[in-house]
Structure 1
Amino acid sequence: MKTKAYNLVNSVEQEELDAGLLAEYYFVEVNDGKNITLPEVFSSEVREDIIRSAVLASRANRRQPYGHREHDGKRAPQPGMKHSVEWWGKGRGVSRIMRKTGQRTGAQNPHTRGGRRAHGPKVDKDWSQKLNSKQRRLARDSAIAATIDTQMVAARGHSFDDDIRFPIVIDGYVESRNGSDEKYDVESCHSVLDPQVRRDDGGARTQFGPRTSQGRPEHPRR
């Protein structure tokens, strides 16, 4: 599989006045370069299920453990234990639970309104996930191969012209400043050109709030 490389020419202009220098202006020119042969990894099969498993495992391995406070309410009352309660004792024909002082409302117990959790989260819980080495390599190759699929790139929210072919490879970069040209060597640099491939701001975004933090299905922001 072959693709066309691009040469970038960046012209930097800056005017100088008596009060000082003005802001710099950039004029980027894109020129067609030579054709190059892509590695075989770009021809791999795109396995979305394997990529999804690798992403979920990566997120799980970065997850920070959380749980209840180690002092067990010695410094400050824990959630669900902030009420002044009393026990009525036995023989009154009511359940033997802690009740708010001067009231009949049950409190603190897991099955009462506003009570504590029966089995809260533990810091010792292991959130990490393992992934087979072959699956990890397959996920990497699939993710690289997905970068040349125009439908998947468009589904990510990018908008581009019909004549654009992926991946976009930069062969050379020349920066012109104050009449002098400085060339930067870029070897097999895969990059997205902002004027040609731009992210659509009207795409779906995550609506943050209780819905997201409580594990409910996400919905796009209106």
Structure 2
Amino acid sequence: MVHRPTVSVFSTSTEKRVGSTVMPKVFSTPLRSDLVHYVHTNMSKNKRQAYAVSKLSGYQTSARSWGTGRALSRTPRVKGGGTHRAGQAAYANFCRAGGMFAPTRTWRRWHRKVNLKERRLALSVAVASTSVVPLVMSRGHRVESLPELPLVLEDSVETLTKTRDAVALLNKLGLSDELARVSSARRTKRAGKKYPVGPLVVLRASAVEGRRAFRNIPGVEVASVERLNLLKLAPAGNLGRLVIWSKSAFESLDSVLRVESSRSTKGSTGLTNPDVTSLVNSTVVQSSLRPRKLPPRRVTVKKPHSRRLLRLLHNSVRAKKTVDKSARKERRAASKKFFRDVESALGSSEPLVLKLPE
């Protein structure tokens, strides 16, 4: 989102600044990537084609259940003989070559309806993101040599008739690296191949010649300002596509998107200092806030019977330890007395040593 009052207009012949125009209010729309992703996901489903399995798939065989009494399940089994297929289970979804549980149908709800206001707001957000340089660069666009974003050209760009003139214009504006990036990745074609997205040229609907000049350049797409599409302004639901505007198309953005002055400023925060931490901790803000409310301290209620039970358990543990200690002493004394009795019986005062035969 950009709050500049004016935007420079560049010439198509000299590539120099030839004037300026007022920045449309749509570029002050707050960025909502979540809304753009939601609308893009639902809009992209509207071009799907229906697919389904056949109603007869899994049921094109003659089978019946054998009933009970054969120690086999009552699943329908194929009739006949002379082949391995005879007697095999059929129809059920757990059978080989059987039917399918919840098969796909052509009357599935393939498309999605998106609210009109949501679509308009998402489109405004996508347009506003085209002027944010970090977002444009994060998509991979090579905009280091561009003079300014948003890039607005005079209306003579709509009268170009040759593709070579359009390519020369883009190279002079500093988009040679961008065109090379897009064209170098389009040498092979296979299903599911993801190609880099190049710049989008937005002209008026009456600029038929200009559309023909730009439409055959690899990676470059052309759109009419009267029929802007979110799928082109935010490919894959990501903000920040590189857009080249004609002056007339740029000036008609507010009327096309129906941007009102109240809506453009309603979501604007007017934040001039991005350091939110210092603002919140400042004296002016803290003096207007109520003191921190601490959670209540939880107090454990100790009832009399609980205290008696704890004291009883504690005493029982101590008594058990005392008994165990006295028992160990008695066993140790009895062991010593046993060895003394053996020594006295043998008549030897020396300690007993067990000698093993060699």
Q: TM-score per shorter chain, which class? A: 0.5 to 0.7
- For the pair 1:194 / 2:179, whether they are aligned, the reply is no
Aligned pairs, number: 168
- Please state if 1:92 is matched with 2:70: yes
Once the two structures are superposed, the pairs formed by residues 47-86 of structure 1 within 5 Å of their partners are 47-69=32-54, 72-73=55-56, 78=57, 80-81=58-59, 86=63
- Asked if 1:165 corresponds to 2:160, the answer is no
* Gap runs ≥5 in structure 1: 10-28, 175-182, 186-190, 210-222
Q: How many angstroms apart in 1 are the aligned matches of 2:99 and 2:147? A: 58
SS in 2 for 1:33: strand
Change (3 A) 1:131 1:114: same
2:16 is the counterpart of 1:5: no
Shift of 1:85: 6.3
The letter of the residue matching 2:115 is N
Cα distance change of structure 1 residues 110 and 164 upon mapping to structure 2, 3 Å threshold:
farther
After TM superposition, the score normalised by the length of structure 2 is 0.40
* Rounded Cα–Cα distance in structure 2 between residues aligned with 1:113 and 1:149: 57
What SS does the corresponding residue of 2:154 show, helix, strand or coil? Answer: strand
> Could you list the per-position Cα deviations for residues 30-65 of structure 1 after superposition, in whole angstroms to 9, with x for gaps in the alignment?
232212221010111111111112112212233333
Aligned-partner Cα distance in 2 for 1:108–1:127 = 28
- Report the CA distance shift for 1:208/1:172 in structure 2 as closer, same or farther (over 3 A): closer
Q: 1:129 aligns with which of 105, 112, 118?
A: 112
Q: Which has the higher contact order (CA 8 A, sep 6+)?
A: 1
Match of 1:151 in 2: 134
Q: Residue 205 of structure 2 corresponds to which residue in structure 1?
A: none
1: CA distance, partners of 2:37 / 2:99: 36
Instruction: Indicate yes or no: 2:113 matched with 1:116.
Output: no
On the 8 A contact 1:6/1:172 being kept in 2, the answer is no
Amino acid at match of 2:170: D
Percent identity between the two aligned chains: 24
Q: RMSD value over aligned CA atoms?
A: 3.5
Shift of 1:159: 1.2
* Partner Cα separation in structure 2 for residue 132 and residue 86 of structure 1: 51
The aligned residue for residue 84 of structure 2 is: 102
Partner of 1:35: 20
Q: In 2, are the aligned partners of 1:7 and 1:30 still within 8 Å (CA)?
A: yes
Query: Take 2:96 and 2:8, find their aligned partners in 1: how far apart are those partners?
Result: 66
SS at match of 1:4: strand
1:208 is aligned to 192
Distance 1:113 1:41, change over 3 A: same
Whether the 8 Å CA contact 1:85–1:98 is kept in 2: the answer is no
Describe the SS at the equivalent of 1:52.
helix
CA displacement at 1:102 relative to structure 2: 2.5
TM-score (norm 1): 0.60
Bigger Rg, structure 1 or 2:
2
- The one-letter code matched in structure 1 to 2:92 is N
Could you report, residue by residue, the CA deviation over 1:86-122 in whole angstroms, capped at 9, with x for unpaired residues?
4461221111224565256544421224433111122
Richer in strand (by share): 1
Unaligned runs of 5+ in 2: 161-165, 194-358
Structure with the higher helix share, 1 or 2:
2
Mapped to 2, the partners of 1:55 and 1:31 lie a distance apart of 36
How many angstroms apart in 2 are the aligned matches of 1:152 and 1:169? 18
- Other structure's SS at 2:137 match: helix
